[in-house]
Amino acid sequence: MTHTNKGFALLIAVIFMSVMLAFALSISALALKQVTLSSSAVESQYAFYAADAALECVLYFDQKSDISLFNYDANQGKQTPPSLPCGDSNTSPSIQTLANPDVVIFSYPRVEFNTSPNPRYCADIKIYKYRSPQAPTKYSTFLFAQGYNVPCDTVDKVTSGASAARFAARGLQASY
């Protein structure tokens, strides 16, 4: 009597363990992707909050304050640009007039927000002021805020090529 079934139970056990290991690895990879996705969603939310805070600050100083910071007449030549007291910085802008003198662009780079106990967040702001309403929506002011989930010095290092840090950036716009 010969035993040709030797090792059959061992073969079944090895196949079963291989399937279970493959299943466990695929579940682990899926869980890792979910954790990465959820953490990037949180970081994206911080960038959105920075953009929202910057946009709200600009809206306040353009619409709600007694003296609008952004009344600039392109025909008056260069004026001292108004500083923007938003966040933890009093940022001075650059003013651009394009070939079309009917539009003036106020650029406020790197406005920083310190949200203690959280780290600092950064935003860039651009304000486009038009002399006459623009078609098709008839707006004369266009605002754009780009928020970042990292401090301004980190954004500067990445844009200059000195660092390869990763960060989330989210933008908001308003026109009226």
Would residue 26 count as lying in a domain?
A: no
- The residue-averaged pLDDT of 99-123 equals 81
Quickly count: other Cβ atoms within 10 Å of residue 127's Cβ.
23
Would residue 106 count as lying in a domain?
A: yes
Is 70 exceeded by the pLDDT of residue 65? no
Q: d(Cα 147, Cα 124) in Å, to the nearest integer?
A: 7
168 phi and psi angles, rounded to 5 deg: -100, 145
Q: Whole domain around residue 112: which residue ranges?
A: 36-175
What would the two tokens of residue 83 be?
A: 């500083």
- The residue-averaged pLDDT of 63-68 equals 67
Would residue 17 count as lying in a domain?
A: no
pLDDT at residue 83, as a whole number: 78
Distances (CA, A) of 172 to 111, 123, 142, 150, 162: 15, 11, 11, 17, 27
Is 60 exceeded by the pLDDT of residue 76? no
Compute the mean pLDDT over every residue in the chain, rounded to the nearest whole number.
Answer: 83
Which comes out higher in pLDDT, residue 103 or 27? Answer: 27
Q: d(Cα 144, Cα 128) in Å, to the nearest integer?
A: 9
Would residue 136 count as lying in a domain?
A: yes
Q: d(Cα 37, Cα 21) in Å, to the nearest integer?
A: 24
Would residue 2 count as lying in a domain?
A: no
- The residue-averaged pLDDT of 76-86 equals 67
Would residue 63 count as lying in a domain?
A: yes
pLDDT at residue 91, as a whole number: 77
Q: How many residues does the chain have?
A: 176
Which pTM value belongs to this model?
Answer: 0.73
Confidence of residue 53 (pLDDT cuts 50, 70, 90): very high
Would residue 29 count as lying in a domain?
A: no
> What's the number of domains the chain is made of?
1
Question: What residues have CB less than 8 Å from 167, skipping those under 6 apart?
Answer: 43, 47, 148, 149, 150, 154, 155, 158
Q: d(Cα 8, Cα 31) in Å, to the nearest integer?
A: 35
Q: Mean pLDDT check: name the lowest of 7-11, 56-60, 92-96.
A: 92-96
Confidence of residue 27 (pLDDT cuts 50, 70, 90): very high
